[in-house]
Structure 1
Amino acid sequence: MDQAAPMFTTAEIGALHDVLHEIVAEGATPGGVVVCGTRQASGTAPGARAVLSAGVVSPFTGPGTPDEHTVYDIASLTKVTATWPLVGRALDAGLLDLDAPVREFLPPMEGAMPSAEATVRQLLSHTGGLRAATRFDLYDLTERPLHELICHELMENLPGTHRYVNRGYILLGLALAHVHGRPLDELAADLWAGLGMPDTAYGPVRQEPRVAPTERPEGHDRLWGAVHDGNAAIMGGVAGHAGVFAPAADLATYAEHLLAGGESPLGRWFRMSLVPQAEIEPGLQRGLGWILGAGGSVAYHHGFTGTSLFLAPATGRYVVVLTNAVHNGAAARIRITPLRDCAQKILAAG
């Protein structure tokens, strides 16, 4: 039986509570939810959780206080809650190879395809050298399939150089759909159902008070239940880099699975992914998907809309942060940094 993870102290919970309320009071986000918890004490017993909330879901559509069941657009957390675990499953099934070019797992292509030479490992670790700017609104998607348009492009960096790139995860999502012969959202839905995450899904989701809206694009109504990421929207809301909606309760369940230990395929894949692949900056490494901070003691990922998931593998503790900070304008999301910093500091301290 795995040893129980240390509980969060009253002081730690209080610090997260105070910072959450401060950023809401300062207008960084209409509201938000934080869940701090521990891994399962055994194969069946749930971990301990503390749920913190502040503000409102939205002053326009959901004036109530958000809770762990409020559904948020989790943006780039899609990478580590959909694409990354599905890649791990496909590797176990022999459908993908970490060190093979992604072109081997996409429909056949003719002509020079420079970006198709990036390996699955490189795409997972943002070291494939692909173009950083996505801008599918500038593509002629009637000319050829999206994977060909991406793969036809020249690389912007030498392979092995770290640069955060959405299109790598877009290619991985397309590759997963191809090797399985099923749409990405169906593959992800099966994954989440098996993990006990009933309210996690690719959008669009139903417009209701428990769904947090995001930004109001110029000339349009506020985005509510529809993906915030414009490139994912062009892809129909289902993409390897963005498009997933989830509540904090489901992400806490997911964190408990990742931290549970044992020899589950997901647990093994998580531990394997914590091996540094490239340096982001001094003291910060990139694993397979995850950012490794605090000397590798904390693995985490952020989402553009104002979301984060922090995991401390050694102690079995985690922090889920869900906000809709872009509700107040895309620039406002930077103002939730104190909350993210607080969560990471607490986990790094043990």
Structure 2
Amino acid sequence: MYPKTINVIQQLVEDEVIPGASFGFIKNNEQATYREGLSAIVPNREALKENQLYDIASLTKVLLTTTIMLQLWQEEKLNPADKVSDYLTDFPSKEVTLRHLLTHTSGIEGYIPNRDALSASELKEAILHLPVGKIFDKEVRYTDTGFILLGFIIEAIEKTTLVNVFANRISGPLNLNDSSYHPRDKEMCVPTEWNSKRGMIRGEVHDPKAYILGDHCGSAGLFSTLTDCLTFSQMMLNQGELNGKRILNQKTVLSLLGDWTPTGKLNRSLGWDLKTRGTKNYLFHTGFTGTFIVLDILGKEAFVFLSNRVHPTNTNKSDYLNQRDRLVECYLTEKEAMNH
């Protein structure tokens, strides 16, 4: 469908920037899906199978946390202008709002000593008491902390775990049968990184905070397949509806195309990053493990890319990030050329 974009992905596999990738495009309500490379190279080389599960890392922030927050807003159970301390009474700042968390403008300083040695309750306690720094309300600083707090807020409102809320509100209605925090078949998961304590991580979340917090983490934790990520993307392109089921209101989805940061000039929407080209805004989000989604809501087009670039080790970070940006740029340029 997009030969130049596919060529860049093939090159990433050839240059061993990534072991492999499952990716797909939506255009004119049609989906095209592809696989390149391998699912594992250590301890054995394994072929990439159709619809393998990926640890989608921070795509959890948009597939789960952001979407649920938007639903709760529509149902008037919360408002982006609400204070975080209205829902989490232990939270020290009375200034930080849900909107700050959703746009990464809260200025919360995320450093926690001995973080990976803490229990789930200790880590939750530490996150609830993190200080707010000088960049509050002024700058975007992308962190997991804000979305972990949003996860706690969702659980406080819905009175059940994030895992259950996701099943009831998103994966159930959209039939995302393979998207969960607990993959049924670990062998169908592509492995992520070799870890000295955990060995080769496979079928368990890679992110250390999500690993500790388990079913209560709003920043990472979801495993999903290309099929499910494309289904979710199609719902977004349809402005909130799929197969007669409305997940979000049209007005809500369209509102995401605006800049929601306090200055209105920092290129973040609620949950999503904004990629601006000319007069057009695309919704964009990435995941640390090597995943991303690009949505052209008005043009009804999408690009979903799932890889395990941290396998077997996360040594190629800057190289991968540069190549990923080049890949997204290639897709947008090729797409725009096709539409002219």
TM-score range, shorter chain: 0.7 to 0.9
Following the alignment from structure 1 to structure 2, what is the Cα–Cα distance between the partners of residues 20 and 276? 30
Which piece of structure 1 moves more, 21-30 or 215-224?
Answer: 215-224
Aligned CA distance change for structure 1 residues 237 and 182 (closer, same or farther; 3 Å): closer
2:27 pairs with 1:38: yes
Following the alignment from structure 1 to structure 2, what is the Cα–Cα distance between the partners of residues 64 and 280? 47
**8 Å CA contact retained: 1:125, 1:162:** yes
Counterpart in the other structure of 2:228: 250
Following the alignment from structure 2 to structure 1, what is the Cα–Cα distance between the partners of residues 328 and 113? 28
Aligned CA distance change for structure 1 residues 205 and 116 (closer, same or farther; 3 Å): farther
Q: 1:123-176 CA distances to partner (integer Å, 9 max, x unpaired)?
A: 00001111144667267558x765543232321222242111110000000110
Counterpart in the other structure of 1:292: 274
**8 Å CA contact retained: 1:276, 1:287:** yes
Following the alignment from structure 2 to structure 1, what is the Cα–Cα distance between the partners of residues 240 and 190? 35
2:2 pairs with 1:18: no
1:24 alignment partner AA: V
Q: Number of aligned residue pairs: give it.
A: 324
How far off its partner does 1:66 sit?
3.7
1:126 alignment partner AA: H
Following the alignment from structure 1 to structure 2, what is the Cα–Cα distance between the partners of residues 267 and 273? 10
Identical counterparts, % of pairs: 27
How much is the aligned-residue C-alpha RMSD, in angstroms? 2.6
Following the alignment from structure 1 to structure 2, what is the Cα–Cα distance between the partners of residues 175 and 219? 31
**8 Å CA contact retained: 1:227, 1:237:** no
2:77 pairs with 1:100: no
**8 Å CA contact retained: 1:200, 1:244:** yes
**8 Å CA contact retained: 1:29, 1:328:** no
**8 Å CA contact retained: 2:239, 2:253:** no
**8 Å CA contact retained: 2:21, 2:305:** yes
| 1:147-226 superposed matches below 5 A | 147-156=124-133, 157-190=135-168, 191-203=170-182, 205-208=184-187, 210-226=188-204
2:58 pairs with 1:58: no
**8 Å CA contact retained: 1:278, 1:287:** yes
2:202 alignment partner AA: W
- The SS at the match of 1:345 is helix
2:281 pairs with 1:303: no
**8 Å CA contact retained: 1:24, 1:30:** yes
How far off its partner does 1:78 sit?
0.4
Unaligned runs of 5+ in 1: 1-9, 40-46
**8 Å CA contact retained: 1:136, 1:234:** no
